[in-house]
DNA sequence: GACCTGCTGCGGCGTG
């Protein structure tokens, strides 16, 4: 079969073929204007994901998960067939009566980027594109409300605001909806924001009284069937999963570099790493990822000092979520500027698909937090044809001696890094955790529905949000208790007919803009220097005038604090310290910790390790065997029993809660749990006893935890529902009892761990 | 010890 170009007929067989050499079937099914746009864009062929996705999207019946690597043309795989369908309807004389495609995206910056790209296509095809988020002027939003049509690119929070503020308009706005597209699906799965998104999409379908096909896009889905189930709760099996692996991309150059922390006053590991990063990144544009905002500030400062001392023209700029938007956008603009050499030191702010131009190399400082994040970071480079993706991971370990506790001798940072790189190379990503009942987000959605509908009956709320909606695990009795909790806090009240309405406090909550986000944020202090806001800082301890700070890559002294208005006034200074930020980290997965143990037991040396990293690998293995980890998981250490479960943080947390509920004083120290005033052999007995008892009810176990609140509206929950929410979010009782069964099969620990000489002296 | 994401309506002011 040959391909002839529409209109011209002059380019038969112009190479419009998928990479297997067969003629493109999809191209011929697109509308001629879409075909012309593809041709004018200079594409030689459709990408695999575009070829594979086209029939399903064109049919417009089934839900689809489109999974393909970064920069593989996933967005266009949805847009091209959707534009074809919508344009054919225009040709047939059908005028749209509302928005035809909603694209929900997790970031404003992604929406802005996609708006540009989609507008180029839609201008040709004759379809309008609108964007709607917090930075879009109200006048533009008013235009959409007046004449809704075409594509609407929107955040979940703005969609929430539409339901609350324009509740009566939802049916008119979306009455003609043909597709719902969800971009970067992985960023929503298993989160409060994801439950909110499921609810909002479901609520659109409820209002227009029909099902709308959903199309989800992602490059890093750890579990495709879980993604399908998330996309259409209760009917994941009917979702078509389209995965294209063949575009998985070009060369990857990867190195793990090890450092052994020197004793003071020798140069610190940070100085040595900054020297090495500086030596490798000058020239071109680079991204340096750190694991905390404080580390970003520290390294941006160290690198800028080196550039200044060397008279180097590379700019080193900090980029993280607490910096003012103007400062961040300035960094992004400089990265895009081809005349500047810019290295951004950043947190996960630059991890997702924000277009910052072509990046030459990626540095990761410290062990990666997740495989998914590492993959996204790697995907920021190598986006130009013929250029490899370059990733250098910098890992440092402390010098240890015989008084160091056993976990430090194991070189856990290095082994975690190697485990994550191996999982990355194997194409594995963290599967979503069960998130439990998501009661905090359910509270938000109950209040939102009552606002949208001007009041609603309890049975209908349960039917729409739980029985037929995304909060399926919430039964009538939990729901009834939840409504009583909300009544007690004056969030809801009931009128004489039994209709639930927002109470006084609920009314204030819903009518404040902070209501639209499902996730919790801290109360930040604004940092002001020279009359300009330079960012925000979550302050945990009182900050005194005179305190020195490094922020935005510059040094400051605190001159004054306004606690009422939560403003911190700064003046430039010659010295400073990185600020401390509050935060709750992610969870390390079971698979990572289990692979770490396999790596200790193995003798293989990955080729991507530099000499010091190899040495740390050898030391870690030596200590692993010397301490008896190959056959034991329980050890004595200075009056404490140590337990190495080699499982993820959720199981470690569950085990900690179980032991604490039996009266033991338990802590977590990286890879191990520490139990005070107990011998290892006694802990072995305790664990064996536990393994013989039936697993506890997770909710009963959760009740023993002192602080169970974590999500935004958790503090409104009564004791029962709070424990239910905690259990679903933070406990894995079955996984923990599987582990206990394994531990009970181990021989009882006999000897205290051998106390060898100091580790790592020979560097 | 660890990341990120989001936000309406309206009053006041200056300018064309």
Q: What is the pLDDT of residue A576?
A: 63
Does strand B come within 7 Å of the CB of A489? no
Please state, in angstroms and rounded to a whole number, the distance separating the CA atoms of residues A273 and A314: 17
Nearby residues of A195 by Cβ (< 8 Å), 6 or more positions away: A435, A438, A441, A442, A470, A471, A518
Please state, in angstroms and rounded to a whole number, the distance separating the CA atoms of residues A643 and A648: 13
Please state, in angstroms and rounded to a whole number, the distance separating the CA atoms of residues A177 and A66: 20
Please state, in angstroms and rounded to a whole number, the distance separating the CA atoms of residues A240 and A225: 10
Phi-psi region of A393 (alpha: psi -120 to 50; beta: other; left: phi over 0): beta
Give phi and psi for A737, each to the nearest 5. Answer: -70, -30
Q: What is the pLDDT of residue A583?
A: 40
Q: Which residue is nearest to nucleotide B1 (CA to C1')?
A: A585
Identify the residues numbered 436 to 465 in chain A whose C-beta atom is closer than 7 Å to any atom of strand B: none
Indicate if A439-516 has the same CATH topology as A252-425.
no
Identify the residues numbered 655 to 684 in chain A whose C-beta atom is closer than 7 Å to any atom of strand B: 670
User: Torsion over CA of A240, A242, A243 and A247, rounded to 10 degrees?
Assistant: -170
Please state, in angstroms and rounded to a whole number, the distance separating the CA atoms of residues A142 and A163: 15
Please state, in angstroms and rounded to a whole number, the distance separating the CA atoms of residues A235 and A250: 36
Three state DSSP letters for A282-315? CCCCEEEECCCHHHHHHHHHHHHHHHHHHCCCCE
Identify the residues numbered 271 to 300 in chain A whose C-beta atom is closer than 7 Å to any atom of strand B: 291-294
Spell out where A608-726 has E strands: 634-637, 640-643, 666-669, 672-676
Residue ranges for chain A with pLDDT beneath 50: 1-15, 247, 541-542, 581-585, 753-763
Other C-beta atoms closer than 10 Å to the C-beta of A491 total 25
Nearby residues of A41 by Cβ (< 8 Å), 6 or more positions away: none
CATH architecture of the domain covering A439-516: Orthogonal Bundle (1.10)
User: What is the three-class DSSP state of A709?
Assistant: coil
CA-nearest of A306, A258, A299, A298 to A282 is A306
Q: How many CA atoms lie within 13 A of A44 on its CB side?
A: 3
Please state, in angstroms and rounded to a whole number, the distance separating the CA atoms of residues A317 and A343: 6
CATH of domain A252-425: 3.40.50.300
Q: How many CA atoms lie within 13 A of A199 on its CB side?
A: 33
Please state, in angstroms and rounded to a whole number, the distance separating the CA atoms of residues A653 and A146: 52
How many angstroms is C1' of B8 away from CA of A566? 22
Which run of H or E residues covers position A395? Answer: strand A389-397
Other C-beta atoms closer than 10 Å to the C-beta of A115 total 20
How many angstroms is C1' of B13 away from CA of A136? 21
Q: What is the pLDDT of residue A573?
A: 75
Q: Strands A179-182, A214-218: parallel, antiparallel or unpaired by DSSP?
A: parallel
Q: What is the pLDDT of residue A173?
A: 96
Identify the residues numbered 304 to 363 in chain A whose C-beta atom is closer than 7 Å to any atom of strand B: 320-322, 347-349
Q: Is A438 exposed, middle or buried (0-12, 13-18, 19+ CB in 10 A)?
A: buried
pTM above 0.95, yes or no: no
How many angstroms is C1' of B13 away from CA of A157? 30
Crossing angle between the packed helical segments A192-208 and A439-453, to the nearest 10 degrees: 30
Q: What is the pLDDT of residue A539?
A: 58
Does strand B come within 7 Å of the CB of A106? yes
Q: Which residue is nearest to nucleotide B8 (CA to C1')?
A: A513
Strand order in the sheet with A492-494: A456-457, A499-502, A492-494
Does strand B come within 7 Å of the CB of A367? yes
User: Which tokens sit at A309?
Assistant: 């001392």
The class (CATH top level) of A27-247 is: alpha beta
Please state, in angstroms and rounded to a whole number, the distance separating the CA atoms of residues A65 and A186: 11
Which run of H or E residues covers position A139? Answer: helix A138-146
Which run of H or E residues covers position A661? Answer: helix A649-661
Query: Quick one: DSSP state of residue A626?
Result: H
Q: Per-domain residue ranges for chain A?
A: 27-247, 252-425, 439-516, 525-572, 632-744
The DSSP-derived string for A23-86 is PPHHHHHS-HHHHHHHHHTT-SS--HHHHHHHHHHHHT-S-EEEEE-TTS-HHHHHHHHHHHHH
User: What is the three-class DSSP state of A692?
Assistant: helix
Three state DSSP letters for A467-532? HCCCCCCCCHHHHHHHHHHHHHCCCEEECCCCEEEECHHHHHHHCCHHHCCCCCCCCEEEEEECCE
CB A158 within 8 A of CB A406: no
Strand partners, A528: A533, A569
Please state, in angstroms and rounded to a whole number, the distance separating the CA atoms of residues A9 and A334: 44
Q: Is A171 exposed, middle or buried (0-12, 13-18, 19+ CB in 10 A)?
A: middle
Please state, in angstroms and rounded to a whole number, the distance separating the CA atoms of residues A383 and A288: 17
Q: What is the pLDDT of residue A763?
A: 33
CB A45 within 8 A of CB A15: yes
How many angstroms is C1' of B8 away from CA of A694? 52
């Amino acid at each position: 079969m040959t391909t002839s170009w529409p209109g011209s007929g002059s380019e038969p067989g112009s190479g419009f073929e998928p990479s297997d050499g067969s003629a493109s079937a999809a191209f011929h099914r697109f509308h001629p204007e879409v075909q012309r746009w593809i041709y004018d864009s200079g594409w030689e062929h459709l990408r695999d994901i575009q070829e594979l996705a086209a029939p399903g999207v064109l049919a417009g019946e089934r839900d689809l998960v489109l999974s393909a690597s970064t920069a593989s043309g996933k967005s266009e795989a949805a847009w091209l067939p959707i534009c074809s369908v919508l344009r054919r309807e225009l040709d047939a004389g059908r005028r749209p009566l509302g928005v035809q495609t909603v694209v929900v995206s997790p970031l404003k910056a992604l929406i802005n980027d996609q708006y540009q790209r989609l507008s180029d296509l839609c201008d040709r095809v004759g379809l309008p594109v609108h964007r709607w988020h917090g930075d879009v002027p109200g006048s533009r939003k008013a235009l959409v409300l007046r004449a809704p049509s075409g594509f609407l690119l929107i955040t979940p929070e703005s969609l929430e605001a539409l339901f609350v503020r324009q509740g009566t308009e939802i049916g008119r706005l979306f009455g003609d909806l043909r597709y719902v597209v969800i971009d970067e699906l992985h960023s929503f799965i298993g989160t409060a924001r994801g439950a909110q998104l499921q609810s909002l999409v479901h609520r659109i379908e409820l209002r227009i009284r029909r099902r709308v096909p959903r199309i989800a896009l992602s490059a890093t889905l750890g579990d495709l069937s879980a993604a399908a189930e998330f996309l259409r709760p209760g009917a994941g099996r009917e979702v078509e999963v389209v995965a294209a692996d063949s575009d998985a991309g070009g060369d990857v150059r990867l190195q793990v570099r090890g450092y052994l922390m020197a004793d003071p006053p020798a140069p610190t590991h940070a100085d040595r790493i900054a020297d090495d990063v500086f030596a490798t990144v000058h020239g071109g544009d680079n991204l340096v990822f750190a694991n905390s905002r404080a580390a970003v500030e520290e390294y941006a400062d160290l690198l800028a000092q080196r550039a200044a001392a060397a008279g180097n023209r590379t700019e080193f700029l900090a980029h993280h979520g607490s910096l003012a938007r103007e400062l961040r956008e300035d960094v992004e603009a400089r990265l895009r500027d081809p005349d500047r050499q810019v290295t951004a030191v950043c947190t996960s702010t630059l991890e997702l698909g924000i277009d910052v131009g072509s990046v030459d190399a990626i540095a990761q400082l410290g062990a990666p937090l997740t495989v998914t994040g590492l993959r996204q970071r790697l995907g920021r480079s190598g986006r130009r044809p013929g250029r490899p993706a370059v990733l250098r991971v910098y890992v440092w370990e402390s010098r240890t001696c015989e008084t160091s506790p056993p976990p430090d001798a194991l070189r856990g940072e290095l082994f975690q890094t190697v485990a994550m790189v191996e999982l990355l190379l194997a194409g594995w990503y963290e599967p979503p955790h069960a998130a439990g009942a998501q009661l905090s987000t359910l509270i938000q959605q109950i209040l939102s529905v009552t606002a949208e509908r001007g009041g609603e009956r309890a049975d209908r709320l349960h039917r729409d949000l739980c029985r037929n909606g995304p909060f399926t695990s919430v039964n009538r009795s939990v729901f009834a208790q939840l409504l009583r909790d909300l009544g007690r806090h004056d969030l809801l009240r009931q009128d004489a007919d039994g209709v639930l309405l927002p109470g006084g406090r609920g009314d204030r909550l819903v009518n404040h803009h902070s209501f639209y986000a499902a996730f919790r944020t801290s109360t930040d202090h604004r940092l002001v220097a020279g009359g300009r806001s330079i960012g925000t800082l979550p302050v945990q301890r009182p900050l005194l005038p005179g305190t020195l700070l490094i922020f935005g890559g510059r040094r400051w002294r605190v001159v004054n604090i306004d606690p009422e208005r939560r403003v911190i006034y700064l003046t430039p200074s010659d010295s400073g310290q990185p600020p401390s930020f509050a935060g709750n980290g992610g969870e390390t997965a079971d698979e990572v910790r289990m692979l770490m143990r396999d790596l200790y037991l193995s003798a293989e040396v990955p080729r991507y390790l530099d000499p010091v990293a190899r040495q740390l690998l050898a030391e870690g293995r030596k200590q692993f065997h010397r301490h008896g980890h190959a056959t034991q998981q329980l050890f004595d250490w200075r009056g404490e029993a140590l337990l190495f479960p080699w499982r993820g943080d959720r199981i470690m947390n569950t085990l900690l809660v179980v032991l604490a509920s039996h009266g033991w004083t338990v802590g977590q120290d990286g890879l191990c749990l520490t139990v005070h005033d107990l011998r290892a052999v006694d802990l072995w007995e305790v664990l064996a006893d536990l393994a013989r008892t039936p697993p506890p009810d997770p909710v009963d176990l959760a009740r023993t935890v002192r602080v169970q609140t974590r999500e935004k509206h958790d503090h409104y929950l009564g004791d029962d529902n709070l424990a239910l929410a905690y259990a679903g979010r933070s406990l894995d009782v079955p996984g923990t009892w599987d582990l206990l069964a394994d531990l009970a099969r181990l021989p009882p620990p006999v000897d205290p761990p051998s106390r060898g000489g100091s580790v790592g002296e020979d560097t």
